Amino acid sequence: MTAPVVEGLAIEKTLGEGAGRVAALRGVSLTLTGGALTLLMGPSGSGKTTLLSILGGMLTPTRGTVRLRGETTTGAGPEALAALRRRHVGFVFQSYHLFPTLTALENVQLVLDVRGERSPEVRERAAAALATVGLTHKRAAFPRELSGGEQQRVAIARAVVGRPAVILADEPTASLDGDNGQAIMTVLAEIARDPERAVLVVTHDPRTLPFADRVVRIEDGRIVAEEPGPRRAASGPPTVPIDSEVRPHAS
């Protein structure tokens, strides 16, 4: 049996104080293994992003245990949690978070720079990550010169360049139209074919369902259902070439 990449065991999280105190998560357990794309779906306020943040070591649980590649986050201080994130986790966000004064290649390479990697291969690894998402021809472009879909691809390349064990994506298609969203999910689904890597996508977008190996549903801070995704049951999701033209999202 494949060893878990991420384990969240009996996770509870309370937010706020006094009358504003809210139980955001109520005894949630979730395990992610390599080679699968898991969708975490639920309505607004259900605890999706809170759970993703705890699994990625950005938040600490009120109770429960999180393990990243067998390393527990329990009792870890800010520096230790940051080190765990750098070693094991790649994040993809709805709003891209690219540095506007850096090129696409430099935005990707920045992850390796922060990790202190200075070998001659660093630039080659960043270029290879951009090639993985079909953006070799945009390596010298600045974010303002890229469409929304292209910026999200750069964000995905940045997330994978450090070779993390898990990619955590928070609403990665929410700001994109249908074609862009399908292209992004195609990229994430291909990344999830790596048996050494898990991908978790937090979403309320039903267009992402065909790409899932597994679907987990959460409501009111509790997991209420779990089922195989269409990709697990079929030969694969509908795909579009990742190097195809991606049109800007119309506002």
Cα–Cα nearest to 167, from 137, 146, 190? 190
pLDDT of residue 197: 94
The sign of the CA dihedral 102, 108, 113, 117 is negative
Please state whether beta strands 89-93 and 166-170 pair in parallel, antiparallel, or not at all (unpaired). parallel
Q: Give start and end residues of each alpha helix (H) in the chain.
A: 48-55, 78-88, 104-114, 121-132, 148-160, 178-191, 230-233
* Segment (H or E) for 39: strand 36-41
Other C-beta atoms within 10 Å of 139: how many? 18
Contact in structure between 182 and 153 (CB atoms under 8 Å): no
Q: Is the pTM of this model over 0.75?
A: yes
Q: Which domains does the chain have, with CATH numbers?
A: 32-53+95-233 (3.40.50.300)
- The amino acid at residue 13 is K
The CA-atom distances, in angstroms, between 3 and each of 36, 62, 202, 245 are: 13, 26, 22, 38
pLDDT of residue 234: 60
- Nearest 10 degrees: Cα torsion 115, 116, 118, 119: -60
Contact in structure between 38 and 201 (CB atoms under 8 Å): yes
C-alpha span between 87 and 6 (Å, rounded): 13
Rg (CA), the chain: 18
Residue 105 has pLDDT above 70, yes or no: yes
96 alpha carbon, distance to own chain's centre: 11
Q: pLDDT for 107-160, tens place per residue?
A: 999 989 888 787 778 889 999 999 999 999 999 999 999 999 999 999 999 999
Q: pLDDT for 165-179, tens place per residue?
A: 999 999 999 888 888
pLDDT of residue 136: 95
Please state whether beta strands 166-170 and 198-203 pair in parallel, antiparallel, or not at all (unpaired). parallel
